A and B are shown apart, each in its own frame.
Chain A
Amino acid sequence: MGLDARRLPGGGTSARRDGGILGAGGPTFLTTKLDFVVNWARRSSLWPMPFGTACCAIEMMAAAASNFDLARFGMERMSFSPRQADVLICAGRVPYKLAPVLRRIWDQMPQPKWCISMGACASSGGVFDVYSMVQGIDTIVPVDVYIPGCPPRPEGLIYGLMMIQEKIREETLAEHRVLRAEDPLRAGVPEADADEVAGLTGPFGNSTRQNRVSDVARTDLADRPGDRKP
């Protein structure tokens, strides 16, 4: 009958020839694991929250359009409200002015939730190693999957979302408390602490005279009158 005996153990047979779950006198009930059903439901209807700020968002739109058709994998509905979203797709560079907005959107999403950092800028700041740009959104929110590329092709985004699906497949409700632990006091604060951010980023200062391995430059020189000192 084509049923996978391992996944669908047991089951009675219908007296009627056309009854049963699959017809033709198949089983009238199935037994399975709760983890399997819950994870199947979760991974098959992931609703992405698109947070597109740059050219990666163009590829994200292409991935949702008919040629690549993200809906085939359960991402049927782009959720433009964080309250009804499961996956935050951060596509594009995030300046520091936008950081509290991104953090607030993440805090507004209900559990269970996942996060994709799409493209080089969202993952590491990319080429924008400057005063205004967040050097990787993982300092702001926790990230599950990083998608490299500048920008990644739609296949890349689909592959990343399917990696999220694989991640969900491996989850178990026994770890629910650990996986979904949420501290209200952590809302609106950086995901990475100061030491971690300092370790992730290069030394600050004037990078025209300084590379990542040189010492920290003096930054207290404000030789212009009227320039506000930190």
Chain B
Amino acid sequence: MDDPPKPPAGSALDTVEEGPRTGHALPVRLAATTLRHPTVDGLRARFGASVQHHAISAGDQHVVYVEAGRNREVLRWLKQDPAQHYDLLADVTAVDFGGDRPLEVVYQLWSVPHRRALRVKCELPLAALAIDSVEPLWRTADWLEREVYDLFGIEFRGHPDLRRIMMPENYAEGHPLRKDFPLRGRFTRAEQTRRALSQDPVDQYIPTELATGREPRIPGDVPLGESEVVEPSPEPEG
């Protein structure tokens, strides 16, 4: 058996072995072990009063409440500033505490290079349940915001495709995770059954999804089947 040929010095394999970008040799210092979070200081310095208050939840989870009107601006800075670099949006969700308390939209962020977590919350009054979409920043927000819209009824301005994702398209009972939603739904079971069976499973999809099968829809991409239309060659005469 011959030895496998060694990669030449300076190849891509060498580079990967030499310097991992995340710096695993450094000791893990969780930012949350201290009461001060470096990002929170930066946020306060840059956005001032828009950072409403700062809390520590479950021992080591820093929560920052941000003015809802500036959520996209704040989150863009958190993602793009080199000292912050929160490149992973782990989750977008919402909380309804019931009563007259405002709904909270929750962004759970993680910075892979800095190994820091941050939770950003925006409070929305019940009278105006709308907030800017962060889909332009993290593409994963597409489906996460659709889920929040479906179950809480929060409108995300600027979302490219805001429609229900879990409940059926013809669901007319409202948004089930609201506290005022009855546990068994608003309609009788017979009506729920009738409505469920009256829908066509094909209606759950938009034409692009049906046309391209499993291909994801990429903005700016020409859907499959439109760019590759093969013109039938004209029959030769005679």
Instruction: Give CA–CA (A99, B193) in the complex, Å.
Output: 8
Instruction: Give CA–CA (A104, B182) in the complex, Å.
Output: 29
In the complex, the answer to whether B178 meets A227 with C-beta atoms within 8 Å is: yes
Could you say which of A101, A132, A189, A201 contacts B201, with CB atoms under 8 Å apart? A101
Task: Report A204-230 residues with CB < 8 Å from chain B CB.
Answer: 204-208, 217, 219-230
Interface size on B, residues (CB 8 A): 35
In the complex, the answer to whether B182 meets A217 with C-beta atoms within 8 Å is: yes
Tell me the dominant secondary structure on chain B's binding face: loop
Asked if B187 CB lies within 8 Å of chain A CBs, one says: yes
**Residues in A whose Cβ lies below 8 Å from that of B127:** 225-226
**Residues in A whose Cβ lies below 8 Å from that of B187:** 204, 219, 230
In the complex, the answer to whether B153 meets A226 with C-beta atoms within 8 Å is: yes
In this complex, the member of A100, A192, A198 whose beta carbon has the largest number of chain B beta carbons within 10 angstroms is A100
Instruction: Give CA–CA (A229, B173) in the complex, Å.
Output: 7
Given contacts A97-B167, A204-B188, A204-B189, A225 and B180 within 8 Å (CB-CB): no
Q: Contact residue range for chain A? A: 35 or more
Given contacts A139-B193, A189-B197, A198-B190, A227 and B184 within 8 Å (CB-CB): no
In the complex, the answer to whether A100 meets B183 with C-beta atoms within 8 Å is: no
Could you say which of B172, B193, B196 contacts A230, with CB atoms under 8 Å apart? B172
Chain B's closest residue to A125 (CB) is: B189
**Residues in A whose Cβ lies below 8 Å from that of B180:** 221-224, 227
Could you say which of A205, A224, A230 contacts B173, with CB atoms under 8 Å apart? A230
Asked if A130 CB lies within 8 Å of chain B CBs, one says: yes
Given contacts A198-B188, A224-B126, A226-B129, A103 and B197 within 8 Å (CB-CB): yes
Given contacts A96-B192, A97-B167, A134-B196, A129 and B174 within 8 Å (CB-CB): no
Asked if A117 CB lies within 8 Å of chain B CBs, one says: no
Could you say which of A132, A134, A223, A227 contacts B193, with CB atoms under 8 Å apart? A134
Residue-wise interface mask of B (198-218) relative to A, using a CB-CB cutoff of 8 A (1 in contact, 0 not): 011100100000000000000
Instruction: Give CA–CA (A201, B188) in the complex, Å.
Output: 9
Asked if A38 CB lies within 8 Å of chain B CBs, one says: no
**Residues in B whose Cβ lies below 8 Å from that of A200:** 189
Sample 10 A-B pairs with CB under 8 A, ordered by A number: A96-B196, A99-B196, A131-B185, A139-B189, A190-B193, A194-B190, A207-B182, A207-B183, A227-B178, A227-B180
